[in-house]
Structure formats: C-alpha cells, structure tokens
Structure 1
C-alpha cells in the first residue's frame, strides 16, 4: 500500500509540473516540442533496429550514388594491352568447383549464326578412351552430335569475336584454346558425368592439360539439358554415386549465356569437384559451343 501511495504522489507531482510548464510556455510550443522529441526518438529507434538486423551500420546515402554516372579513364597500357575498358557481367556460381556464369555473353544473332554453320557438319560425338575402353563398351555415355570448327575457319568472324571475349573473361590468351566443339543434344540425349582434364594415371602422359572449359549456350532448353556438377561443395562423394544421375549444382541453358569452370587447381592438380555432365533433354533442343582451354599454347 505504501508503494502505491508513493507512485500516486509522484504522478501528481509530474502533473503539476506539466501544468505549470504549459502555462508559462504555451500549449502550441509544448505541442511542437513534444512532436520534435517523438520524431527524433522514432528515427533513432529505426536506425538502431536496422543495425541489429543487419549487424552493420547503414551505408550513408552519399556513398550509394557515388559511382552513378562515374567515368573511368583507362591507364597507359603495354604493347600487348588494350586502350579501352571492358565490362563483362558475371556471377560466381560455386567456389568448389570454381564455376562462373556470364549472362548475355553472346547475341541472339551470333548464336543463330553458329548453329547455322554447324548443322550441315554434325556427326556422333566421340569420347577420349581410357585403357581397356572401346566405342562399344562406352556406348550411351555421350549421345550428342557435334563438330569442331576453329575461329580461322569461320568466314563470318563471329567465332573470332567470341574467342576474344572468352580470352578477356578468363585472362588466358586465345592461343591456349582448342577449336570450338559445337554440340547438339536432342530429346533424351545426355553426357554422363566426366572430367575435361585427363588424369595421366588413366590416359597416359599429357603434353598439356585442359585447365578450364567455357560453355556458350546457343539455345534455351524448355526442360532438362542442364549442365550439372554432382560433387559441388563435397556433395555425393561416395563410392555408390551413379554417374548417370542428374544431381548437384545445375545450370539451365539460356541462349547467349556463358559458363566457365576450372578443371585444375592453381597448383595444376585436378579438381575432383569439377566433374560434370549434361542432363538429358526432356523438351526442346540444346545447342552449345564448348571451348576447352589448356595450360600451354594449343597446336
């Protein structure tokens, strides 16, 4: 009972002080002051709540628009350099393996032209065989059709432009790239999981090694046909993995988009997570131009 009495006495004192202050300053001024303190408290609480949620301080507004409309002057370049800046948008899809996605890497017209030049020269795709393997006992692993063509054989100049852009994106000279392998996958066709690099223990000594692969999707696929990485970030690493299964990280083909992935670590050893395959096409047709890139100049 005593505590209630004290609380009531305190409330009464506050009321008296408020009436006294209001009569001296005036109600309009009091109202403005109250509004000011209320808005200040509300704004401060919003800032604090934002910090708690994000864990960092909000970015000052002046930094958000700092690079809008900014122009960058190219630096003086060496004899083999370029005079202009290059902007190629990309997204890192995975670090294990290192896989990078490039949206709108080529135009619709460029993709259509490449398909047109390849159509008349398609043949069943083949495999590099290990010791003891034959075309007969490896039938069904790779069921696409394709053809090889180098940029120097393309009179339109499109493959040369694509090749130059790939060199910029990978920072590996054009001279290290093999000829383009243009592939077509029809309904039901696939490529079981495999490595692009050649393990010397299985394929014998190698003069040079494929360090990276660049896939340029020439067509979109309505359903299926994804490029998949079953061992991405340590997934499915067991002896029971079926190399025909379409599992793991999947990249859906979209016309004009590019996919780069590295088969070797920086120290030159094969990245086991770079194993990949092509899921069966369920609906539509898949066209892709593959550029394999080596650690030495390709002959």
Structure 2
C-alpha cells in the first residue's frame, strides 16, 4: 500500500507541476492560520489588544443642556500624575504660536518677581527664594484674543469658572533662577485673614527648557509623612518632577476636597541649567474675583 501511495503522489506532482503544488500548500496554510486566529480571538475577548476610543464606531446623541451648556462634545487630553497631591498633565494644551505670542506681549513689562510675605518676613530676608521676572496680564487686556482662548480652555479643564481666576502671571526664568518650595494657598495663621483662597494652579509652559527648570513636588513620593516635619531642605530639587515643554499644561490643587490646605501641594521650580523657561500661571480661587 505504501508503494502505491508513493507512486500516486509522484504521478500527481508530475501532472500538476511543482509550482502548483506549492501554491496549493501555501493557500491552505494561510487559510488555516487565519481561521484559527479568528476562532481564538472570538473565544476570549481578553486576548484582544487595546482599542483607541476614536476607533469605536458609536453614535451618541448630545444630551439636553442648560442655558450655559455646550451643544457639542469637547476632548481635552490629560494624564493623572499624582493623587497626593492631585496633579494632572495636559499635553499640547496650547499651540506653539499662541505660546510665542504670550511671550512677546510679556517681554515689555517684565519686573523682578515678588513674594507674598508672611509675618516677620521682609524683602531682604527672603531674597533668593524667588529669582524670576514676570508680569501680570489679564485676558481682557490682550487685544489678540489668545489669552481669552487659553483662559476658556483652562476653565473647561478645571471646571472652575473664569470669574474665579486671577490675571495670568507670565514668568521668565533665566539660567540659575528658581523658586524654592512653597505653597500657592495662604495659611491665615501665617498670612492673616484671607478674603478668598487659591484652590488650584494651572501652569502653561510657553517654552522648552534645554536642562533644568522642572516643576517639582517634593512630598508627592514620600512615605508615611517622611520629611514633612520641617526637616526637608527647601533648596533641594527632589520628588515628582515635571519637565517644561512648550504648549503643555500642568494643573494641581492646593486645597483638599474639604477646603483645607493640602500639605503635599508644596512645590517649586528647579533652577534652569541651560536655556530659558517661560511659563504662564493662572491661579484659581474659591470665590469670584473683582473685574480686572
């Protein structure tokens, strides 16, 4: 029987030709592989790769809205950097041309940055804590309308009304300049009674920095309150660091949900080592601000 099967196979090859036999084998191999893959994917959804949201073909009707709501959906990409403190990163928040425009409008009014002084502090004994230069400018003062666009997007990202925001503080850090670790919220025991409190801060990076200039949160990575007893060296640039990239945004909250100051929201600006750092800061408060 074996001899007959061999003769029959040889006869078939000679009739069809070697190329035809190879083609038939290849076809059945590919078909079998495809069919087995299809069955394995259908059998277990866990084996399928992740899908991008944009690839899901799903239609949703726009929800009914109030007088101040939107008539369309808005997408703002973000990454949660930390829950303690609450810090979020927004890539490509603003286009490069908008960032450059803000830099140009701020250059003409730069002055040495100042500090809100605590009881017993003076300009002399706090010298060196904050060495940047900057200026304040509101969206209403910007005739180009760019700050208006940025401010509106910040309001959407934070869900804090524009009327709760201070004017933009546009800052420039040159080589060696920094801002030692500090809080954006003002503790009444140190600064006196406050009419309103800073809830959150939004930093829009207006330029890349070759080296240094990171925004750092020294208590973001601590364990069991380590170094939070006053032993932390405020001049050190340690902890969670966010590298400035033009057009990117950083949001962090200074207050906890119960309204008290978050002790882990301590942050600072590392010294610029190479290049120049430009950033526009928008402080958001728990009450409406007076017209700017």
Q: TM-score, normalised by structure 2?
A: 0.81
CA distance in 1, matches of 2:186, 2:53: 48
Q: How does 1:144-163 map to 2 (within 5 A)?
A: 144-163=132-151
**Aligned with residue 278 of structure 2, among 278, 281, 287:** 287
Q: Secondary structure at the match of 2:157?
A: helix
1:112–1:64 CA distance, 2 compared to 1 (3 A): closer
Range with greater deviation from structure 2 (230-239 or 161-170): 230-239
1:136–1:108 CA distance, 2 compared to 1 (3 A): same
Structure 1 residue 60, shift from structure 2 partner: 8.5
1:110–1:138 CA distance, 2 compared to 1 (3 A): same
Q: Secondary structure at the match of 1:113?
A: helix
CA distance in 1, matches of 2:245, 2:103: 14
Q: How does 1:1-299 map to 2 (within 5 A)?
A: 57-59=46-48, 67-234=55-222, 236-238=226-228, 239-299=230-290
What are the ranges of 5 or more consecutive residues in structure 1 without an aligned counterpart?
Answer: 1-34
Q: Secondary structure at the match of 1:232?
A: coil
Deviating 4+ runs (over 6 angstroms): 63-66
What are the ranges of 5 or more consecutive residues in structure 2 without an aligned counterpart?
Answer: 1-28
CA distance in 2, matches of 1:60, 1:237: 42
Q: How many residue pairs were aligned?
A: 260
CA offsets, 1:165-188, max 9 Å, x none? 000000010000000000000000
Q: TM-score, normalised by structure 1?
A: 0.79
Structure 1 residue 67, shift from structure 2 partner: 4.4
CA offsets, 1:78-108, max 9 Å, x none? 1011111110000000001000000000001
CA offsets, 1:106-154, max 9 Å, x none? 0011000000000010000000000100000000000000000000000
Structure 1 residue 289, shift from structure 2 partner: 0.1
